[in-house]
Amino acid sequence: MITPTQFLSSDSLVASLCREASRIRSRCHVFSDSNTRCLDASLSVRLFAEFKALKERQAVIKKVAQLLKKDGRYEEVSIDFLIEICSRPLRFSGRLQAN
């Protein structure tokens, strides 16, 4: 059974990770749009490097969410939502493509 204190800490932690995952998706979208219009090869390389770093951070957040779910002390619905949004692929278009 989840106590009110556990719910509040779960809500705060999971909500914070959800917001971060959402910001990652937004930034990747902006990077992809910028790269599509980019004419400078060195800028494309930097945008792609930043995209890769964000993709890695998304994977870390997903791993944390999976560990929190296994822990069993946090609200499962919120964690399932976080895992779902971290499982969605990030897209990068333009000169350099993500593998």
- Give the mean pLDDT of the chain: 86
Q: Taking the CA atoms of the chain, what radius of gyration do you get in angstroms?
A: 16
pLDDT in tens, 35-46: 999 899 999 999
Q: Where along the chain do its domains lie? A: 12-87
Please, are residues 46 and 90 in contact by the beta-carbon 8 Å criterion? no
Hey, how many other C-beta atoms are within 10 angstroms of the C-beta on 2? 13
- pLDDT at position 4 is 46
